[in-house]
Amino acid sequence: MGEPDPDLLVDFEGVTVRRGGATLLGPLDWRVELDERWVVLGPNGAGKTTMLRVAAAELHPSAGTAHLLGERLGRTDVFELRPRIGTSSAALGHRVPDAELVSDLVVSAGYAVLGRWREDYDEVDTSRATEMLASLGAGHLAGRSFGTLSEGERKRVLIARALMTDPELLLLDEPAAGLDLGGREDLVERLSMLAWDADAPASVLVTHHVEEVPPGYTHALLLREGRAVTQGLLEDVLTAEALSATFGTRIVLDRVGERYFAHRP
């Protein structure tokens, strides 16, 4: 076997996850390359979070092979792999103590712990944390405690935290869930700016809603019952037919500029 392709960040071949006799995911073939921004769409229970957990090196496939950043899951030290992958999810947010200072939460990401446990962070860490918060429009929140933030503010802070370690891959699980309309639009705009940024990592964003697809995202994977209904370039894949098949109901898809809106006929 030759050297792994450095541009191939995720390489799933026949990835399958089984629990107690049920197949939650797969078999799934999926590849993410450098500079790609993927959205993963599918109904409740389709296996999206399961798939993201494999991509985060948190879960090993029951069958098939998963390579992440050139390393094969099961044959590599996941503790070395995980800091290279930025993740943001509601589950992570729930584990943050209310009293945690936003700036500490972000700066501590480099040490892969929740909460500030080391008194002396390098100045470079602190200024990077400030920069990451500012890039998500959350610079003014640095001095607040996490428990006082709105849902939308929390999401932006957690994404800033995920970017802190300069990850090669960014995984976002339903980043806009629970946000009001203004909060959602604000987040979609921020994620879109990140998507257009050539220095930003490859990203995978899981959602139920096409309205949450940020402009600048390049690829889509539509999941149903653990299997890919279709995947590829966003423009080719995101169609009314594919969405109808994925969600099991007739869907009409409207496109306004680079935004998508779905509804029943």
Ligand X SMILES: Nc1ncnc2c1ncn2[C@@H]1O[C@H](COP(=O)(O)OP(=O)(O)OP(=O)(O)O)[C@@H](O)[C@H]1O
| Binding positions for ligand X, rule: CB under 6 A | 19-20, 22, 24, 42, 44-50, 208
Name the residue type at position 54: V
Q: Based on CB atoms, which residue is closest to ligand X, 48 or 219?
A: 48
In terms of Cβ atoms closer than 10 Å to its own Cβ (0-12, 13-18, 19+), residue 48 is: buried
Q: Based on CB atoms, which residue is closest to ligand X, 21 or 257?
A: 21
Give the E-state strand segments of 35-115 in sequence order: 37-41, 63-68, 71-72, 85-88
- The DSSP letter of residue 145 is B
Name, in order, each residue with C-beta under 8 angstroms of 263's C-beta and a sequence gap of 6 or more.
251, 252, 254
Q: Based on CB atoms, which residue is closest to ligand X, 160 or 242?
A: 242
Give the E-state strand segments of the chain in sequence order: 8-19, 22-33, 37-41, 63-68, 71-72, 85-88, 169-173, 202-207, 219-224, 227-233, 252-256, 259-263
Taking the complex as a whole, the smallest distance from the CB of residue 10 to ligand X amounts, in Å, to 16
Q: Based on CB atoms, which residue is closest to ligand X, 11 or 173?
A: 173
Q: Based on CB atoms, which residue is closest to ligand X, 24 or 169?
A: 24
Q: Please say whether the beta carbons of 227 and 26 come within 8 A.
A: yes
Taking the complex as a whole, the smallest distance from the CB of residue 176 to ligand X amounts, in Å, to 13
In terms of Cβ atoms closer than 10 Å to its own Cβ (0-12, 13-18, 19+), residue 141 is: buried
Q: Based on CB atoms, which residue is closest to ligand X, 18 or 84?
A: 18
Smallest Cα–Cα separation from 190: which of 167, 171, 216? 216
Name the residue type at position 158: L
Give the Cβ contact number of residue 203 at 10 Å. 25
Q: Please say whether the beta carbons of 246 and 224 come within 8 A.
A: yes
Q: Based on CB atoms, which residue is closest to ligand X, 91 or 134?
A: 91
Taking the complex as a whole, the smallest distance from the CB of residue 57 to ligand X amounts, in Å, to 16
Taking the complex as a whole, the smallest distance from the CB of residue 21 to ligand X amounts, in Å, to 9
Taking the complex as a whole, the smallest distance from the CB of residue 112 to ligand X amounts, in Å, to 24
Taking the complex as a whole, the smallest distance from the CB of residue 232 to ligand X amounts, in Å, to 20
| Residue entry with tokens 């309309």 | 181
Taking the complex as a whole, the smallest distance from the CB of residue 99 to ligand X amounts, in Å, to 29
